[in-house]
Amino acid sequence: MLKVMMKDLIMNRNALVANLFIMAAVLVFICSWEEGAPVGTYAFFSGIMMAFVPIMIVTREDKFKAMALGCSLPVTRETIVRSRYLLSTGFAVMGILLAFVLAALVPSSRLSATELFRPETFLRALSVTTILIALLLPFTLRFGALGLILVMAAFQVLGIVALTMVKLTRSSADKAFVDSIVQAVGNLYTRLGSVGFDLLLAALLAAVLLASYGLSVWIFRRREL
Amino acid sequence: MTDQALQVSGLRKTFKGFTLNDVSFSLPKGYVMGLVGPNGAGKTTIIKLIMNLIAPEAGEIKILGLDNRKQGVEARARIGFVYDVMPFYADVSLRDTKRAIAPFYPKWNDALFQELASSFDLPLEKKVKRLSQGMRTKFALALALSHDAELLVLDEPTTGLDPVFRRELLHGLSGLLQDEGKSVLFSTHITSDLERVADYVTFIRNGSILLTETREVLREVWGVVRGEEASVAILDSKLWRGFRRYPHGMDILTSDASAARRALGDGVVVERASFEDIVVLLDGGEVHHA
């Protein structure tokens, strides 16, 4: 498995470095925001960005049609998928920590290290990354870059449909439904900080990632190249 | 211990508008097999099935005695592969590509790779996208030959190569076999490549194997009957394997040149069939019975 991870790192080294620089610039902008971005917002954006690092590895592989190369090497497809998930988790943890270090060190940052380096802030970012990876990796492993576009487009359509429903029907039930989702997510995050809830969330994220991994293995074993 | 490098039996795979139907052939260790057929015949599909890039609906493939699906990792460790379009990362250098691939092979020989890279004039610092198609094939060959592969699977390896290197490559493949007892399966539509190196020829058309035979049999036993249609078409149709009509005559491919000579007498020309004759005539008419 280490060989597959090393292959991915070597083949994507330049793209990874370039992307990390771009991400760092965006993160510096967010943490230096004059209006003062709350630490939760910063964690949220860090989480989103780090999720796209492993996705980029798969979309680049798709761009160069290099999946056939990987799958012709003496390694099982399950190992390829497992290494992608491990690499993704590694990137997520390291990337989020680096994003926090960046915000703590940049002189123009409005965020303090004490705010950033809390388990709940880290979990907030990690939950965003994990859910995005769990959702996007099976699609990108099956459809490549198209899978990424499909998921994004589905989200856009879902958002447009929800807003249109609320506007057209003027139904308080629709609005209440959307509000309740937003409130539920908000409530979840307000509970962060208690050890029990943090552990429960961490376990839940691990379970989501595991389920996504199982689905990806099932998909990738059947993919024809 | 099997004496077969590759055994393909009862292979079936269906795509929209194309079916690979009951494909069976085998390649003994230490020999070269040319897989020949027109574009879209199913050559690349067979190679993808061997490499486990696609799954068959029926049939079995054994590589050096190993089931290519159940023991795929062990089997692929012993295969060197070159595809018609090598799926390398275009923006990565040859050196880095080699660094990424080499650790997968327990028998990787870096000194041999450097030697091959040097003899192929490969610019290892250059990115793949800066190379011509021929240079990419050379790079793929250097990778395929550097891990002591026992079976080389080459999909159109001579496409895009200049004539000089093409000939060098074919000589190299023959030499490799004589020295080290390796086996090679290569697909091509260039019949002169077959003449140079193939010990076995497998001809495929529309997803079905029309012929799999040794070079000796094809050279010694097969023949082409040439002449006016009225004088050659009287040959017993059981002896026909393919034919083509021309404005002033007809060529009939037969798998028994002696029988054809005996049947037609001295008035009709029965020539030894070249590989090109066999490919062209098998592809031309509709008579393909074994």
Which residues, in sequence order, are bridge partners of residue B188? B36
**Domain check: are B54 and B137 in the same one?**
yes
> What is the distance between the alpha carbons of residues B42 and B20, in angstroms, rounded to a whole number?
7
For residue B1, CA distances in Å to B29, B253, B280 come to 11, 38, 38
Question: Do B232 and B193 fall into the same domain?
Answer: no
**Joined tokens for residue B240:** 């026909």
- CATH (domain of B72): 3.40.50.300
In a domain, B290, yes or no: no
Domain of B104? 4-216
Shared domain check, B200 and B101: yes
Burial of A112 (0-12, 13-18, 19+ CB in 10 A): exposed
The C-alpha of A150 sits at a distance from chain B's nearest C-alpha, in angstroms, of: 24
**What is the pLDDT at residue A163?**
76
Is there a single domain that holds both residue B160 and residue B254? no
pLDDT of residue A172: 67
The shortest C-alpha distance from A1 to chain B (Å) reads 10
Mean pLDDT of chain A: 86
Residues of chain A with C-beta less than 8 angstroms from the C-beta of B97: 11
Asked whether residue B192 is assigned to any structural domain, the reply reads yes
Residues of A in contact with B100 (CB under 8 A): 6-7, 10-11
pLDDT score recorded for residue A98: 87
For residue A70, give the amino acid letter. Answer: G
* Sequence letter at residue B89: Y
Residues of B in contact with A65 (CB under 8 A): 85, 87
Rounded to an integer, what distance in angstroms lies between the CA atom of residue B15 and that of residue B165?
35
Decide which of B216, B234, B269 is a domain's last residue. B216
Identify which of A7, A60, A68 has the shortest CB distance to residue B100. Answer: A7
On whether residue B142 sits in a domain, the answer given is yes
The domain of A113 spans 2-222
**Whether B131 and B28 share a structural domain:** yes
Q: What is the mean pLDDT of each run of 10 residues along chain B (290 residues)?
A: 90 93 93 89 94 95 94 95 89 96 95 91 94 87 92 86 79 69 86 83 91 89 85 76 84 86 80 86 63
B97 in Cβ contact with A70 (< 8 Å): no
Are residue B127 and residue B60 in the same domain, yes or no?
Answer: yes
Task: Verify that B123 and B256 share a domain, yes or no.
Answer: no
Q: What is the pLDDT of residues A142-188, one digit of tens each?
A: 888 888 888 888 888 988 887 787 777 766 666 677 777 777 777 77
* Structure token digits, residue B79: 């295969």
Chain B's closest residue to A73, CA to CA, is: B76
How many CA atoms within 13 Å lie on the side-chain side of B53? Answer: 19
In a domain, B128, yes or no: yes
Instruction: Assess whether B175 and B274 both reside in one domain.
Output: no
Amino acid at A171: S
Residues B204, B238, single domain; the answer is: no
Number of domains in chain B: 2
Structural domain includes residue B289: no
Kind of pairing between the strands at B240-246 and B249-254 = antiparallel
* More confident: A104 or B45: B45
Q: Which of A14, A60, A74 sits opposite B104 (nearest CB)?
A: A74
Q: Where do the H-state alpha helices sit in B29-162? A: 43-50, 72-77, 94-101, 110-119, 133-145
- The answer to whether the beta carbons of residues B193 and B158 sit under 8 Å apart is yes
Q: How many whole angstroms separate alpha carbon B146 and alpha carbon B115?
A: 10
One domain, residues B95 and B226: no
Token duo for residue A190: 């307000």
Q: Are residues B137 and B46 in the same domain?
A: yes
Q: For residues B14 and A87, give the distance between their C-alpha atoms in angstroms, rounded to a whole number.
A: 36
**Number of domains within chain A:** 1
Read off the tokens for B134.
Answer: 């021929």
In 3-state terms, chain A is what percent helix, strand and coil (to 5)? 85, 0, 15
For residue A72, list chain B residues with Cβ-Cβ distance below 8 A: 51, 53, 76, 81, 83
In this structure, are B120 and B242 located in the same domain?
no
Residues 91-130 of B with CB under 8 A from A: 91-92, 96-97, 99-101, 103-105
